[in-house]
Structure 1
């Protein structure tokens, strides 16, 4: 497990895509995922997803809590909290349990806030919105 310091203290994550990394394809893993680079493809985890300020994602995201500071183009399924910071932009549909968007964040898409998203898969979300 990697540990990276930040202003909130130490943050632990299991998978890191660094700022100089470009990934094409599907990323499926357990635990916390942090993306600071570019990803062309879907990201699925049973843990949290953290999208850094300079990160760019072109694909769907599925995770527990998702924290976005960068740019995401794709649909999101979040079984916990989806948080968008003031530097974030999201272009896609979301199915979430809780949603917080800071002033200055950009969101274009449909938003569905649900009590229990655990039974919904990423394929179902995309098919239902088409």
Structure 2
């Protein structure tokens, strides 16, 4: 009765979808999405996505952003939570509060933010602890 084309998308398929905010576009308000974003325009508000957010040169997010990964070449001002890796290219300007799993900053990037690293503590199991004690 149902064809294969009516298949429901899984979360991994949906997160591959890309939303694009073109240059000259200004969005004011909250955005919740499953797919990633490429921001070439301006977003003023809160953005939450399970995907990756790319802010291109000329792009701006002013507000709160929560995402899986981020790659900034443009401007961000506000509260930023990146669950995995935040990459700042040489033209990036970030101001505000940042929480990230990993942070990569190219020379020339401006990073005027308080920063907290999360999820990077590795717990040692008993075998690792014994091995460490033997080598010490």
Residue in 1 aligned with 2:117? 113
State the shift of 1:13 in Å: 4.6
**Unaligned 5+ runs, structure 1:** 1-11, 117-130
User: Which structure has the highest helix share of the two?
Assistant: 2
The offset of 1:60, in angstroms, is 1.1
| Partner in structure 2 of residue 57 of structure 1 | 61
Write the distance in 2 (CA, Å) between the matches of 1:96 and 1:53: 21
The C-alpha deviation readout for 1:59-107, integer Å capped at 9, x for no partner, is 1111000011001111110111000000000001111100001101011
Q: Distance in 2 between matches of 1:83 and 1:73?
A: 15
Is 1:37 paired with 2:41? yes
Cα distance between partner residues in 2 of 1:98 and 1:47: 16
Q: Secondary structure at the match of 2:35?
A: coil
Q: Please tell me whether the aligned partners of residues 13 and 34 of structure 1 are also in contact (alpha carbons under 8 angstroms).
A: no
**What is the rounded CA distance, in whole Å, between the counterparts of 1:13 and 1:55 in structure 2?**
19
Q: For residues 17-64 of structure 1, what are the alpha-carbon distances to aligned partners after superposition, in whole Å with 9 as ceiling and x for unaligned?
A: 000211000111011111100111111101111111111111111100
> Where does the alignment leave 5 or more consecutive residues of structure 2 unmatched?
1-15, 121-136
TM-score (norm 2): 0.74
Structure ID, larger Rg: 2
| 1:34/1:13 CA distance change after superposition, 3 Å | farther
Cα RMSD for the two superposed structures: 1.2
TM-score (norm 1): 0.77
Q: 4+ residue runs of structure 1 moved beyond 6 angstroms?
A: none
Question: Could you say which residue in structure 1 is the equivalent of 2:78?
Answer: 74
